Structure 1
């Protein structure tokens, strides 16, 4: 039986993951939160799931490396230095980092990649996302995940070849760029749409999260999948067999 530990167990995602672990009949190694030492949990768990905060990531990774345990990282709002830390950790342990653990979202990511590959620059790509009023980062990790898939398919840079926060006289849309728009309000768990628009036609690929349990189920499935993997950096598409 896989024994799963949770970094950030008191948060909304942490609680949802704990509930899914119980429903699945898996082992629960316990959880940690702000101010707790991550090392004891890493020592007794088979795999760790991290939905804590960016400023906790380095200590959590260090604990997993020391214990030789794999980790799923679902924390959003990560910066370039965090990805450097993740790359370094992946030299020692199995690490799966993603902006979204939903299996449906990751299937959407595959569809976006296929569409962006098949359709040329005549098709503009815009990503629209909406989340609850308490979300503190924008664009969402999921929007960036989808934008990254589109950018890689087009062979462009996901950061420099993007447009965000349009306001005022912005001029015409830059050909080939990926646009982002973020909405916040209410209790929306997460809505994402990728719009591909050309002259006279458009395609919209969408995903709606009705509650957080979909992310928790995906995270637990990923934890079961990665527990036997060798050191390296993995993606959710591996969980889906893509």
Structure 2
């Protein structure tokens, strides 16, 4: 039985993760971490420092501000951790990479299998099309999402950038610019509205033709399933930094 701690258990994603774990015979949620109260079937602690329950792995869908205390808990207990929260800054990313020298860390800005397949398709398209095609990334999310652009949009842009020669610059806002588009640019656009779970589209625009690669998430369940699959995968793995590409191999 794999015992799981859910960080952010009172949030929307935390509830979906708990439901997904409950459906698996070989998994059990044994504790949660959240400042808000939660009607859960397991004890909920308001801080990682208060956790006194033994577990095999931790899944985090909380807030970037919780990262350092979560890593401290994971390192103290030698606990593999799945980091699904978006919006980390450079220092936080550096901290989780440093932690991966002591514990197994699984970090992905999007836990959807479909999104990660989309990224691989975009990399292939970029390699084939080259600099003759301009690239624009468009992402859409619900009106409660705080960070923009989404972590997934940046994942996509970074993956495409790795396939291009020379430097790539990200352009987030064109209305204030009075100049032609540079070939080295990748445009990134954010839309917020309604209850959109998550939509990502990459437009490759060439001479007299365009190619679109898109993914639509219709439920938060796809992210929960990915996170729980990652948790099952990470248990027993050696120290190191893992992502969805490792899970898909």
User: TM-score under structure 2 normalisation?
Assistant: 0.92
Runs (4+) of structure 1 exceeding 6 A deviation are none
- Cα distance in 1 for residues equivalent to 2:158 and 2:226: 20
- 1:225 equivalent in alignment to 2:233: yes
- C-alpha displacement of 1:112: 1.1
Pair 1:49 & 2:59 matched: yes
Query: Aligned pair in 2 of structure 1 residues 22, 156: CA closer, same or farther (>3 Å)?
Result: farther
Counterpart of 1:89 (choices 74, 88, 99) is 99
Which position in structure 1 is the counterpart of 2:11?
11
Shift of 1:74: 0.8
**Cα 1:171–1:42 shift into 2, 3 Å:** farther
Shift of residue 124 of structure 1? Answer: 1.0
Query: Counterpart of 2:33?
Result: 32
TM-superposed CA distance for 1:122, in Å, is 1.0
- CA–CA distance in structure 2, aligned partners of residues 36 and 110 of structure 1: 39
CA contact (8 A) 1:42 1:67 kept: no
Match of 1:164 in 2: 172
Instruction: Give distance in 2, aligned partners of 1:59 and 1:68.
Output: 14
Structure 2 CA distance for partners of 1:54 and 1:219, relative to 1, 3 Å: same
Deviation, 1:168, is: 3.6
Aligned counterparts of 1:91 and 1:42: Cα–Cα separation in 2: 24
The counterpart of 1:61, out of the listed 64, 71, 78, is 71
Query: 1:76 aligned to 70, 86, 101, which one?
Result: 86
Question: Normalising by structure 1, what TM-score?
Answer: 0.94
The C-alpha deviation readout for 1:26-73, integer Å capped at 9, x for no partner, is: 211221113822145485111111111111100001110111011111
Distance 1:149-1:213 versus aligned 2 partners, 3 A rule? same
Please state if 1:175 is matched with 2:183.
yes
1:155 CA displacement: 4.5
Q: How has the CA–CA distance of structure 1 residues 44 and 155 changed in structure 2, closer, same or farther, with 3 Å as cutoff?
A: farther
Measured against aligned partners, the alpha-carbon deviations of 1:5-35 in whole angstroms (never above 9, x if no partner) come to: 1111101111110010011232112211138
**Cα separation, 1, equivalents of 2:197 and 2:161:** 25
- Structure 2 residue 209 is matched with structure 1 residue 208: no
User: Structure 2, unaligned stretches of length 5 or more?
Assistant: 36-44
Give 2:243's match in structure 1, choosing from 232, 235, 241.
235
Q: CA RMSD in A?
A: 1.5
Q: For residues 106-137 of structure 1, what are the alpha-carbon distances to aligned partners after superposition, in whole Å with 9 as ceiling and x for unaligned?
A: 11111111111222111111100000000000
Q: Does 1:117 align with 2:118?
A: no
Q: Deviations over 1:67-105 (max 9, x none)?
A: 101111111111000011111100001111111001111
Q: 1: CA distance between counterparts of 2:241 and 2:91?
A: 16
Q: 1:89 to 1:7 in 2, by over 3 A?
A: same
Q: Which has the larger radius of gyration?
A: 2
